[in-house]
Chains A and B, each alone.
Chain A
Amino acid sequence: MEFAAVVLPHLDAAYTLARYLTRNDADAQDVVQDAALRALKYFGGFRGTTASDGRAWFLAIVRNTAHTWRHQQHGGVGVTEFNEELHSDHVAPTDPVAAVDLRKAVDALPLEFREVIVLRELQGLSYKEISDVTGVPVGTVMSRLSRARKRLQEALT
């Protein structure tokens, strides 16, 4: 497969993911451009054969680039490690503004919940693909997805 055939068809998906991870259009564009550059660099290592292989592969690069971007933005300060227990269902009452707008509610989710929601609900990836993109086990994908949905439902009501 050619680089163009692997990356270009998934630019909308890449931008969507980056947009939700950075919460900002300009940064999302920077992240996708940088991810594309990285994708070029690592393209020799891409072993996929189908379009969805390419999507998961490219989205994983976008996701990692966005995480690097986030650490650079915060200079490593104030970025607390995600803790499955700490970020359970009992923290933070729903933001009243978020309740009005579902999209804002997605933006208000912790990063680790946001990415699984975007990958599943907006882009229709399978659990296995989400696991490949995020690098966390399928079981963790399932529990994060379930908790993220619970929060969004609270925002809906």
Chain B
Amino acid sequence: MKIISSETHFDFMGKIKITIAISGLMILVGLASIVMSGGLKYGIDFSGGTLVQLQFKTPPNIEEIRGGLKSIGLGESTIQEFGTKRDILIRVQRSEEKLEAVGSKIRNSLGEKFNKQDITVERVEMVGPKVGSDLREKALLSILYAVIGIVIYISWRFELRYAAAAIIALVHDVLVTMGAFSLFDKEFTLVIVAAFLTIIGYSLNDTIVVFDRIRENLRRKGKNTLAQTINVSINQTLSRTLLTSGTTLLVVLSLFFFGGEIIHDFSFALLVGVLVGTYSSIFIASVFLVFLDSRRRA
């Protein structure tokens, strides 16, 4: 069985202008969204704060919850449904450093309007501001170290310009995914950073398969220009690229739909990342490889 015919001759390199425009647009829209919403939206891991997930026996009225929270001075909290109408997520900017169990404090504050027995504290996450900034630093460092490690590896296995092109594709993927996060009003948390690092790894996986073929084809040098060789290489690997992206996409979709609310944003990041990563290894990485090559010759 075949989905992609074995001998494709798409002219990928001829569509450079279109792909650059599409990518540019995606990145611009994303960045604009980030700027308009006043920067990236940090989750409590990075900004510090408290998050309490409650489960009610019957769907509660959110305004009544707010009333209860006001009585303990937490009226400013964000209250939202989490997956179902019975699951409620409460976010408080402040983090209590005192030895108080926020979860039960909130639960007690709801005692007037609701029967306390009907409320279960499912999850409490409290991150103090100090830990928040520590984690922010850690997250940034981890992305930095991963990128450095990958650049060293690719420059060793290939040439520096391959590494440069791969990194551009990778930055492209991260920017687009970040933009998508901002557009869909999702928060950055530690788990999302993990998803981003995975996207970085995955995006490179595809890129390297294409690069590997380019290198192989360059060795049996014909009359072809670099651009033509790259085009042939992309066509040769196209079937594989789409197939594996397809299967990975299938499993990520399964995670997205069945994995539950807690891991929803994580699977969303992977979903966008896999799509964009596939696109960029076909269009972006190779375009820049040609571009960097022409600069070198000029």
* A and B: interacting chains: no
